[in-house]
Structure 1
Amino acid sequence: MKPPLLLIGQGSHDDAYAAEFGRFVHRLRCRLDQTAADVSGGYLERATPRLSESVASLVARGHHRLVALPLSLSRVSDDFGAAMELEQKRHPTLMYDYGRPLGPDPRVLALLAERLNEAAAEISKPQRPLELVGARPRLRAVDALIEESLHVEPGETAVVLVGEGSTDAAANAEVHRVSRLFWETHAYDFMTVETAFVSVTPPGVPGGLERCRRLGAKRVIVVPYLLFAGGMLERVWAQALAYGAGHPDLDIRCAEVIGDCEILADVVIDRYEEALQLVP
């Protein structure tokens, strides 16, 4: 039997994020069940199940070696390593191997392109700045006071790729690198792909939008570089809405997150298999 896969999330108080994380863990459990590999998920903080609970459950089921995979698009913080070291102290027989973060895998970039194209395809449809999705109000598009019939070429449309933001300069630089890769591989028809961050470090979403406006963009599509829906996504959309309210001459559209899907599961499974090959 293969070592189990342990997905590690940072953790959030947001129910929507936790629900999508849980669905993704279930998807992977169904996929890897065919290869007799167990799958579990745990959070470092603020949400349940905590990492310590998930590890204890795996050990109780007889697993003493596992593959730990931070479910993150960016560089892994020291918190992940410290958390796993603590689990080793709690369970002296436990051994683990790390899987690489998802990062700018070509399939992740392709998923971002899908979200961008979905947002662009909705441009010709009547939009409202706020619509209800499930039980939660979510921003779908920021309505500017522009005639719906106004034709805007892709070359007049800019993209803002929005990462979480970090105190780690290397992690922020990685998001800038992803923006460039995304522009050259999937968004070359657009005017530019600018980088912004939700919090912690500049530029924020308004700063990214302002740069696009000054470059002459008539339309901007905001693409969140985030895995799952939740509070972070709501902040991206809220910042875009606030900026759009003060700039009615600029048409601003907001895309969805990558989300729970089969292609994302493929990337995670490849990271898992890659880690297994490194096991002596």
Structure 2
Amino acid sequence: MKPPLLLIGHGSNDDAGSAEFGRFVHRLRCRLDQNAADVSGGYLDIAKPRLSDTVASLVARGHHRLVALPLSLSRVGEELPAAMALEQERHPTLMYDYGRPLGPDPRVLALLAERLNEAAVELEPIQEFPRLRAVTSVPVEEPVQHIELSETAVVLVGEGSTDPAANAEVHRVSRLFWETHAYDFMTVETAFVSVTPPGVPGGLERCRRLGAKRVIVLPYLLFAGGLLERVWAQALAYGAGHPDLDIRCAEVIGDCDSLADVVIERYEEALQLVH
């Protein structure tokens, strides 16, 4: 039997994000069941199940080697290695191997392109929130103006970090995404939800000054929840003060089989490194 896959999230007080994380763990459990591989999930902080509880459960079921994979789009800092080292102190028989973070994998960029294209479709304006799929400042009674892709900019929004290298990686993703999937658009700018500038309003303002008629806010986030709501709220607030700019918000990558494909490849890659 293959060693179990342990998916590790950072954790938050956000029930919606935790629920989607749980659904994704279940999807992987179903996908890897045919390979006789157990799949569990745990959080480093705040949310449940906590990483320590999940590891204790795995060890109690007789698993003493596992693959620990951070379910993250950004680089892993010192928090995860420190947490796993602590688990080894608690369980001296425990051995583990790391799977690489998801990062700007080509399939992740392809999923971002799908979300971008969904938001770019010429739809009637939608004003329901937060269930909307597009946000626009154009009044409902007015017909939608046709806007070319060359007049449409994209703001790719990362989470934001105190780690400069993590923020630089989001800028790198923006450039990769523009060159591989969004070259017909005016530009792909970078913004962050919090911690570091520019924020979403700053990214939108740059696009406006570059002459964009429409801007699509593209969250570089795995799951829906509080962070996505903050992105939407910042975009709506900016749009209220700039009624001539059509602002749309795309969905997050989300729980899907394509994302599961990337995680399974990371898992298999970690197993091959062991052998």
Short-chain TM bin: over 0.9
In structure 1, the partner of 2:125 is 126
The residue number in structure 1 matching 2:261 is 266
**Partner SS for 2:81:** helix
8 A Cα contact 2:125 2:138, kept in partner: no
1:245 is aligned to 240
Q: TM-score, normalised by structure 1?
A: 0.95
Q: Does 1:207 align with 2:174?
A: no
CA deviation after TM superposition for structure 1 residue 46, in Å: 1.0
How much has 1:61 moved relative to structure 2?
A: 0.5
Q: When the two structures are aligned, how many residues end up with a matched partner?
A: 273
For residue 12 of structure 1, report the CA deviation from its aligned partner.
Answer: 1.2
- For residue 146 of structure 2, what is the aligned residue in structure 1? 151
State the distance in 2 between where 1:164 and 1:215 align. 24
Q: Give the whole-Å Cα distance in 1 for the aligned partners of 2:143 and 2:210.
A: 22
1:207 shift after superposition: 0.3
**Structure 1: any 5+ residue segments left out of the alignment?**
132-136
Where does 1:133-148 land on structure 2 (aligned, <5 Å)? 137-145=130-138, 147-148=142-143
Residue 142 of structure 1 deviates from its aligned partner by 2.7
Deviations 1:209-230 (A, max 9, x none): 0000000000000000000001
Corresponding position of 1:58: 58
Aligned to 1:134: none
Alignment of 1:64-103 (within 5 A): 64-103=64-103
Pairwise CA RMSD of aligned residues?
1.0
Change (3 A) 1:235 1:139: farther
**Hey, what does 1:13 align to over in structure 2?**
13
1:142 partner SS: coil
Question: Counterpart in 2 of 1:112?
Answer: 112
Partner of 1:97, secondary structure, is: strand
Q: Which amino acid in the other structure matches residue 5 of structure 1?
A: L
2:217 is the alignment partner of 1:222: yes
Give CA deviations for 1:36-88 in whole Å, capped at 9, x if unaligned: 00000000111100000000000001000000000000011211111000000
How far does residue 247 in structure 1 lie from its aligned partner after superposition? Answer: 0.5
SS at match of 1:23: helix
2:186 aligned to 167, 170, 191, which one? 191
| C-alpha separation in 2, matches of 1:142 and 1:26 | 31
Partner in structure 1 of residue 41 of structure 2: 41
**1:139 deviation in Å?**
4.8
CA distance in 1, matches of 2:138, 2:223: 30
Structure 2 residue runs without a partner (length 5+): none
Shift of 1:143: 2.5
| One-letter amino acid matched to 1:261 | C
User: TM-score, with normalisation over the residues of structure 2?
Assistant: 0.97
SS at match of 1:278: helix
* Aligned residue type for 1:127: I
What is the DSSP-based 3-state SS (H/G/I as helix, E as strand, rest coil) of the residue aligned with 1:141?
coil
CA distance in 2, matches of 1:238, 1:145: 17
